[in-house]
Amino acid sequence: MDSSASRGARRLRRDAEANRQRTLQAAREVFAERGLGVNLDDIARHAGVGVATSYRLFGNKQALINELFEERVDALVALADQALTIDDPWEGFVSLLTMALEQLEADRGLREVVFAELGGRPLVAQARRKFMPAADAVMRRAQDAGLLRSDLTTTDLPLISYMVSCVIQHTQPVSSEVWRRYLTIVLDGLHVRPGLTDMPVVALTTAEEEHVASLNASRS
């Protein structure tokens, strides 16, 4: 995991490498707080380097975003595997949703990458292919145990997360925690108990669900 040379690129001079790390760190902080919409000038200023330096070191904004969020997205994927290690299938499912949303809560840029409001097309498409099967396993296990409503489909999961993440975004500046109320409501609506309502429509197909994400990506 050599920080600089991703692909056989010539080694950077010490000062350049330091600036690279400072830019990366600044981007982490600024993207997390203000989203991917910020311009590189702001990030460079926050890092204490010139704009040109940031551009020379990363090429463009998208490359910086990709480099920065690769690990963050992978961490999200790992949650699904962790969830499977929890004994109680329902608790596993709850943990998956809760922990994923907690990750998203802390980082506006990550929300935008994951739900493709900007940037990360290829980045996310790939993560998605790793995430969905794992999440699917968590879901099925809870459904087989009769704890998660059986009419739920894999494609519902991203949309449920998105729905709650919207509340996070909306309420963040006023309260960092109210979103948990709505997660609670949703989880209660997913937990099997007598008298659950029949679903009024079928879920999206996998292809449709991918289409949703890519459509919302093409805005940028």
Q: Contact between 197 and a copy of itself (CB under 8 A)?
A: yes
Work out how close the CB of 201 gets to a copy of itself at its nearest, in angstroms, rounded to a whole number: 5
Of 54-62, 85-93, 126-134, 193-201, the segment contacting a copy of itself by CB under 8 A is 193-201
Q: How far apart are CA 6 and CA 108, in angstroms?
A: 26
Answer whether 155's CB lies under 8 Å from 208's CB.
yes
What are the residue ranges of helices labelled H in 145-178?
Answer: 156-171
Q: Contact between 33 and DNA (CB under 7 A)?
A: no
Alpha-carbon distance values, 181 to 97, 176, 199 (Å): 13, 11, 23
Q: Which does 15 bind (CB under 5 to 8 A by kind): a copy of itself, DNA, none?
A: DNA
Of 39-47, 76-84, 96-104, 189-197, the segment contacting DNA by CB under 7 A is 39-47
Closest to 32 (Cα-Cα) out of 3, 72, 67, 61: 72
Q: How far apart are CA 114 and CA 40, in angstroms?
A: 21
Sign of torsion, CA 88 90 94 97? positive
Find residue 148's DSSP bridge partners: 191
Question: What number of CA atoms fall less than 13 Å from residue 153's CA on the CB side?
Answer: 12
Of 3-11, 78-86, 130-138, 195-203, the segment contacting a copy of itself by CB under 8 A is 195-203
Q: How far apart are CA 75 and CA 191, in angstroms?
A: 26
Out of 2, 15, 87, 198, the only residue in the binding site for DNA (CB under 7 A) is: 15
Q: Which does 181 bind (CB under 5 to 8 A by kind): DNA, a copy of itself, none?
A: a copy of itself
Tokens 């969020």, located at residue = 69
Work out how close the CB of 113 gets to a copy of itself at its nearest, in angstroms, rounded to a whole number: 15
Out of 199, 206, 217, 220, the only residue in the binding site for a copy of itself (CB under 8 A) is: 199
Of 50-58, 84-92, 101-109, 174-182, the segment contacting DNA by CB under 7 A is 50-58
What are the residue ranges of helices labelled H in 145-204?
Answer: 156-171, 179-190
Of 6-14, 66-74, 94-102, 156-164, the segment contacting DNA by CB under 7 A is 6-14
Q: What are phi and psi of 191, to 5 degrees?
A: -75, 130
What are the residue ranges of helices labelled H in 85-116?
Answer: 89-105, 108-114
How many residues bind to a copy of itself according to rule CB under 8 A? Answer: 44
Contacts with a copy of itself by CB under 8 A lie at 115, 149, 156, 159-160, 162-164, 166-167, 170-171, 173-175, 177-178, 180-182, 184-191, 193-201, 203-204, 208, 211-212, 215-216
Contacts with DNA by CB under 7 A lie at 10, 12-16, 18-19, 39-41, 48-53, 55-57, 60-62
